[in-house]
């Protein structure tokens, strides 16, 4: 296979002007990945002693990852604004005429860092229309995403992206390049796994509890399901993308509007799922069609193979 870097791939696509953005994300990911690999040898494990806008305790690596992403992307004249899970407000760069807004979760699953579980960086890219309002551009529905992707820091470091025409995976090699490893990824139409925190099931709406039992009873095309749940969204989604099945984070009594963040978790993963032949919904409706009202908006998320997601969507709609 020819050596094709993520920058070369993007430059040769329908979105060539995004190449420098992906180069910056790649640089940040290399720094973050290096810090994670050496975390046990330096003082970067544990809590940072502060909470973010979500009310969640920040880990030291959350702060580091956010600083690196901000620094690398903030250098680019093409980037007008940055939206991070870790910051209360959007950060406007010194380039107001920039075309892009990059929206990201710098280190998803960071609470698992101390026990050496896979974590990741999730990102979404939106376009600012010439002369358009930057803040309005941040609140576009997921259907307006120009690109999306994630980096998973695991046994190998991988970047999985979509530019709106399929999904491709790149692996970090020893030279420091993210090289194309798998092109035109396709999520299986139906899979063998469901992934969810079943400890919350008693507080889900009845339709979700019935759906889970329905899967366990083998009522979806007679398939038998096994449970797989890591607790790092990137890792759970990456397995679902490769193996098929469904990831569920339903509404609960405690979080009736959902817990995952729309702009930098649900939307980018929803785009990747759809581009790979899967689906993503918030219940009865499509994730990518939600009209955001604030940058840290939350949502339920059900994402995965078409068979499982379509069945859930139908059951929720009938319950309503």
Give the domains, in start order, of the chain with CATH numbers.
Answer: 6-182 (3.30.540.10), 193-319 (3.40.190.80)
In Å, what is the CA distance from 164 to each residue of 71, 124, 137, 276, 311? 26, 12, 18, 10, 25
Query: For residue range 167-207, what is the model confidence (pLDDT) as tens digits?
Result: 999 999 999 999 999 999 999 999 999 999 999 999 999 99
Is residue 141 within 8 Å of 288, Cβ to Cβ? yes
Predicted local confidence at residue 1, as pLDDT: 55
The model carries a pTM of 0.94
Is residue 304 within 8 Å of 187, Cβ to Cβ? yes
Is residue 309 within 8 Å of 278, Cβ to Cβ? yes
Predicted local confidence at residue 40, as pLDDT: 64
Query: For residue range 263-277, what is the model confidence (pLDDT) as tens digits?
Result: 999 999 999 999 999
pLDDT bucket at 112, cuts 50 / 70 / 90: confident
Dist. CA 247–CA 236, nearest whole Å:
7
Predicted local confidence at residue 37, as pLDDT: 87
* Percentage of the chain exceeding pLDDT 90: 86
Q: In whole angstroms, what separates CA 311 from the centre of its chain? A: 23
- In three-state secondary structure terms, 19 is helix
Dist. CA 201–CA 283, nearest whole Å:
15
pLDDT bucket at 49, cuts 50 / 70 / 90: very low
Dist. CA 88–CA 295, nearest whole Å:
9
**Partners of 147 in the β-ladder:** 125
> Residue 245: pLDDT above 80?
yes
């Amino acid at each position: 296979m020819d050596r094709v870097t993520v920058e070369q791939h993007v430059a040769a696509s329908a979105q060539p002007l995004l190449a420098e953005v992906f180069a910056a994300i790649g640089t940040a990911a290399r720094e973050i990945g290096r810090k994670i690999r050496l975390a046990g040898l330096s003082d970067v494990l544990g809590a940072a002693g502060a909470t973010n806008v979500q009310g969640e305790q920040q880990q030291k690596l959350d702060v580091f990852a956010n600083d690196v992403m901000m620094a690398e992307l903030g250098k680019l004249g093409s980037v007008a604004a940055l939206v991070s899970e870790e910051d209360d407000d959007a950060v406007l760069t010194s380039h107001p005429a920039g075309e892009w807004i990059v929206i990201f979760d710098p280190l998803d699953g960071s609470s698992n860092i101390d026990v050496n579980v896979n974590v990741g960086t999730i990102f979404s890219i939106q376009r600012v229309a010439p002369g358009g309002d930057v803040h309005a551009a941040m609140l576009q529905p997921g259907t307006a995403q120009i690109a999306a992707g994630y980096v998973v820091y695991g046994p190998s470091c991988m970047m999985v992206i979509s530019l709106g025409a399929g999904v491709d995976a790149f692996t970090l090699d020893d030279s420091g390049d993210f090289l194309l490893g798998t092109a035109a990824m396709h999520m299986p139409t139906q899979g063998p796994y469901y992934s969810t925190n079943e400890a919350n099931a008693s507080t889900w709406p009845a339709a979700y509890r019935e759906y889970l039992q329905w899967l366990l009873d083998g009522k979806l095309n007679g398939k038998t399901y096994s449970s797989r749940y890591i607790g790092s969204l990137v890792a759970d989604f990456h397995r679902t993308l490769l193996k098929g099945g469904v990831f569920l984070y339903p509404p609960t009594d405690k979080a009736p509007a959902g817990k995952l963040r729309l702009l930098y978790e649900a939307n980018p993963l929803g785009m990747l799922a759809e581009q790979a032949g899967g689906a993503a919904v918030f219940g009865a409706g499509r994730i990518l069609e939600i009209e955001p009202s604030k940058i840290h908006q939350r949502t339920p998320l059900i994402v995965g193979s078409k068979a499982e997601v379509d069945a859930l969507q139908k059951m929720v709609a009938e319950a309503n």
